[in-house]
A = this chain, B = another copy of it.
Amino acid sequence: MPEQKISILTASLAVESRTAPIPEPSAKQVQIAVKSVGVCGSDIHYWEHGRIGPYVVEDDLILGHEASGVVTSVGSEVTRVAVGDRVAIEPGVPCGHCHECRVGRYNLCPDVQFFATPPVNGAFAEYVVIDENFAHAVPDSMSFDEAALIEPLSVGVWACKKANVAPGARVLVTGAGPVGILCAKVARASGAVEVTLTDVNIERLKAAESMGFTVHKSGVDSPLPEKSFTAVIECSGNIHAINTAIRAAAPASVVVLVGMAAHGNVTVPIDVIQGRELWVTGTFRYAHTYPTAIGLVSSGAVVISDLVSATYGLDSAEQALGHAHKHPEDLKVIVRVS
């Protein structure tokens, strides 16, 4: 049985390089030789804390869910993808049969299998398998790093869609980390005529400013004017930012909560929500976003290569996690598997 190299998080939260059998695709799956994997805040959180909310690392877990690669083998019933295809991997495969799946909201499927979410393994490995519908071909013009970042870009596509970002929008994004930056980039590509990013981290604001966005240092610059943004996307999970986000929203506009707060219960000004008839919602991953995200990068409407700040090999996955943890101003650290 052929073996591959993997990087694994143990239950004692150590990261180890090991070997493991190469997974074989079932009838509707494809096998992919992994090329690039982005490090996400959730990977760091599992490594540091061993859990995210109800998801607990009780056994060995392969991290990494922002991944790209090349198809190396396909199952007997696969029709949409071929060996040799370069693909962006959509890391959550829903059941396909429940009510949420049938109405088209597969991200809310209660039985979704999502990479690097206990007990489902992720992509810090030489090979992964996935249902063919979740291996999205990308053009040759797209790098594997970019193809890996289609995953966080999908978060931005989904958030902008929920927020009704459309031509003419004035958009506020609170939190200038990678997700906030990607939301801002999608907003601009959607016709937003003004995009403002807030953060407390001056390095992140500098990066945002260099990308052409208006920036606002939370708690230092004068408060954002009330009711001034027609779409608001909250990406920090910070309680103050959530309240700022709601107060900055124009009447009848949408406030999308993307960032996860440390505690699920948060105090919000419902008198403002009522008095302006705001729509406060949240995102849980995304659905049907990969073709759009791939198209936005391919067409040049969104540039994402400028997020990559550092790269490591698969054997150095722990260093990659450590780098991302220590340098939040480095927007995206990539593990290049091969």
Please list the residues of chain A having a beta carbon within 8 angstroms of any beta carbon in chain B.
53, 96-97, 100, 102-108, 133, 157, 160-162, 166-168, 186, 188-191, 193-194, 242, 251-252, 257, 260-261, 264-284, 288, 291-293, 295-296, 298-299, 301
Main secondary structure of the interface of A (DSSP, over half): mixed
Pick the contact of A108: B251, B270, B272, B280 (CB < 8 A): B251
Could you give 12 example pairs across A and B, Cβ below 8 Å? A102-B133, A107-B277, A157-B167, A157-B168, A161-B166, A167-B295, A168-B293, A257-B270, A274-B283, A277-B281, A277-B282, A277-B284
CA distance A232 to B80 in the complex (A): 26
Please name all residues of chain B whose beta carbon is closer than 8 Å to the beta carbon of A194 when the two chains form the complex.
295, 299
Please name all residues of chain B whose beta carbon is closer than 8 Å to the beta carbon of A188 when the two chains form the complex.
301
CA distance A265 to B284 in the complex (A): 25
Please name all residues of chain B whose beta carbon is closer than 8 Å to the beta carbon of A278 when the two chains form the complex.
281-282
| Number of this chain's copies in the complex | 4
CA distance A257 to B106 in the complex (A): 27
The answer on a CB contact under 8 Å between A270 and B268 is yes
The answer on a CB contact under 8 Å between B270 and A264 is yes
CA distance A281 to B251 in the complex (A): 11
- Nearest B-chain residue to A275, judged by Cβ: B284
The answer on a CB contact under 8 Å between B265 and A265 is no
How many whole Å from A280's CB to the nearest CB in chain B?
A: 5
The answer on a CB contact under 8 Å between A282 and B292 is no
The answer on a CB contact under 8 Å between B251 and A298 is no
Pick the contact of A291: B160, B168, B277 (CB < 8 A): B168
How many whole Å from A201's CB to the nearest CB in chain B?
A: 23
Please name all residues of chain B whose beta carbon is closer than 8 Å to the beta carbon of A161 when the two chains form the complex.
166-167
How many whole Å from A154's CB to the nearest CB in chain B?
A: 11
Knowing A260-B274, A267-B267, A275-B284 touch, does A292 contact B97 (C-beta < 8 A)?
Answer: no
The answer on a CB contact under 8 Å between B193 and A292 is yes
- Nearest B-chain residue to A80, judged by Cβ: B97
- Nearest B-chain residue to A259, judged by Cβ: B274
